[in-house]
Amino acid sequence: MNVEELKRVLADQWETLREKLERENIVERELRGKILENFSPTAHIITGPRRSGKSVLSATLPGRPLYVNFEDPAMAGFSIGDYKKLVQAGYELFGEFDYVVLDEVQEVESWERMVSALRESYPTIVTGSNARLLSREFSTYLTGRYLSYTLLPFSFREFLAYRGTEPEVRTTKDEARIKRALIEYIERGGFPEALRFGREYLVNLYNDIITRDVIVRYGVRNVRELKEVAFYLFSNFSARFTYSKVKNTFGIGNVETVKNYVEYLESAYLVFELPKFSFKPKEVLRGDKKVYAIDTGMLNAVVPKVSENIGRLMENVVFLELLRLKHYRKPSIEIYHYRDSKGEVDFVVRDEGGTGLIQVTYASGKDEIAPRELENLFRAMKLFGMKSGTLITWDYSGEVERGKLKVKAVPLWRWLLNSYVKLFNSNSDL
């Protein structure tokens, strides 16, 4: 491509993005602060599911960006050798720019060489919707000379900001307003554009991720089989699964094929595996997994009658919030589930500061809490040497004590609003 062609494309792309920024309600993302902490000339990789807001976040950082979207068909003729022309086109078009945004750059062969050159002079943001492909290229070519981030769909706090809903709860009326918003959040999810366009948008996005970020990216031959596995995992969200069971359910040739399918889907941020905790690292790798979906709105759009499983939807919401906590605030934390012969605890969250135990239940009163939920928590607290654990409920606050052990019950809406504030230590809850 020549400079004039690139100028036309850059001008068109920037105008389209500018109109979007002016037209839509743009929410400041919680990941923004982490990016700005070290926003200097180097490579900054932002991955996350398709349509989670990576482009908008990248283009709204302080300063003037040189923004390029490589998924634009008009960029089909761009090659790695054109990158100096790209910079020249940017200077001629905008005069000066403060940083570079390369959106979905994996569309360009050998893109990592262009990033390596640009990063010497500008903060260079690379976005992509496939974690495995981008991280593999960065690790082999840039050898650690980059910073990486993961952007997930809206948190409940971001959802409230998008809706213009005040998060402060001072009165009964305020609490009712927040609970209504939580119901909508669970039903519609956190993909920004889905809040405008609804269910059909999410169905199309689900299919887009499978097709473009999995089947095409990895050259999957048995498309039907891959789609069946994806739907199976989605339908079994917040539940345990094994590769061998998936293999037998669909008559797949071997377990390695199933492992590959799951890895592809996880790299595309459609599903996430949660390992079972063990004090023995080998057992963590070999133990069974639980699976969670990227968004409860997408679950509601894709899986029939999923709204009837409110307890499992709550658990999926909590998992995603813990994942945000890891990616946005505390990268050192490790998240597991725990199970023994008597039952399970939904989440074990470990860090150098201690351990947090979380159980999730759809209960609106103390009498609605199943005894096994508390028994499992108390048993795990003894195992981990914890004095307290957390029970996330739908609408019940209180404490349950057993000797020196204490379970603190907190409604989901309250926990979601305060999860970043209430970090943990060895004797506290999440």
304 and 409: one domain?
no
186 lies in a domain?
A: no
Looking at the predicted structure, is the pLDDT value of residue 422 above 60? no
234 and 212: one domain?
yes
The 3-state DSSP class for residue 426 equals coil
Q: Domain limits at 380?
A: 315-418
What pLDDT digit, counting tens, does each position of 184-230 carry? 999 999 999 999 999 999 999 999 999 999 999 999 999 999 999 99
The Cβ-side half-sphere exposure at 153, using a 13 Å CA radius, reads: 28
Average pLDDT (290-312) is 96
Query: Residue 327 gets which letter from DSSP?
Result: I
pLDDT value for 287: 77
What pLDDT digit, counting tens, does each position of 49-88 carry? 999 999 999 999 999 999 999 999 999 999 988 999 999 9
- Report yes or no: 400 and 367 within 8 Å, Cβ to Cβ: no
140 and 252: one domain?
no
364 and 409: one domain?
yes
The CATH number linked to 267 is 1.10.10.10
Average pLDDT (20-36) is 94
- One DSSP character per residue, 358-375 reads EEE---SSGGGS-HHHHH
Average pLDDT (14-43) is 94
Last residue of a domain, which of 275, 308, 341? 308
Take residue 11 and report the two structure tokens written for it: 């001008």
84 lies in a domain?
A: yes
61 and 147: one domain?
yes
For tokens 């201690």, the residue is 354
48 lies in a domain?
A: yes
pLDDT value for 224: 97
Average pLDDT of the chain is 92
Looking at the predicted structure, is the pLDDT value of residue 27 above 80? yes
Last residue of a domain, which of 245, 274, 308? 308
pLDDT value for 104: 87
Closest CA to 165 of 153, 184, 178, 179: 178
CA distance 358 to 335: 11
What pLDDT digit, counting tens, does each position of 337-377 carry? 999 999 999 999 999 878 999 999 999 999 999 999 999 99
253 and 336: one domain?
no
C-alpha distances in Å from residue 13, one per residue of 45, 59, 192, 342? 21, 12, 20, 57
184 lies in a domain?
A: no
37 lies in a domain?
A: yes
What pLDDT digit, counting tens, does each position of 80-118 carry? 889 999 999 999 999 999 999 999 888 888 888 899 899
- The confidence band for 424, taking pLDDT boundaries of 50, 70 and 90, is very low
Q: Helix H segments across 104-171?
A: 111-118, 131-141, 156-163
111 and 16: one domain?
yes
pLDDT value for 129: 87
- The confidence band for 425, taking pLDDT boundaries of 50, 70 and 90, is very low
119 and 134: one domain?
yes
C-alpha distances in Å from residue 71, one per residue of 14, 24, 103, 364? 14, 21, 8, 47
175 lies in a domain?
A: no
pLDDT value for 332: 93
83 and 63: one domain?
yes
Closest CA to 100 of 153, 43, 53: 43
What pLDDT digit, counting tens, does each position of 132-166 carry? 666 666 666 666 678 999 999 999 999 999 999 99
245 lies in a domain?
A: yes
- Report yes or no: 80 and 118 within 8 Å, Cβ to Cβ: no
- The confidence band for 279, taking pLDDT boundaries of 50, 70 and 90, is confident
Last residue of a domain, which of 254, 280, 308? 308
Looking at the predicted structure, is the pLDDT value of residue 34 above 70? yes
The model carries a pTM of 0.94
11 and 135: one domain?
yes
pLDDT value for 140: 66
The CATH number linked to 9 is 3.40.50
User: How many structural domains compose the chain?
Assistant: 3
- One DSSP character per residue, 208-236 reads HIIIIIIIIHHT-S-HHHHHHHHHHHHHT
Closest CA to 284 of 330, 244, 338, 322: 338
285 and 369: one domain?
no
281 and 212: one domain?
yes
407 lies in a domain?
A: yes
The CATH number linked to 391 is 3.40.1350
pLDDT value for 72: 94
pLDDT value for 357: 96
pLDDT value for 242: 94
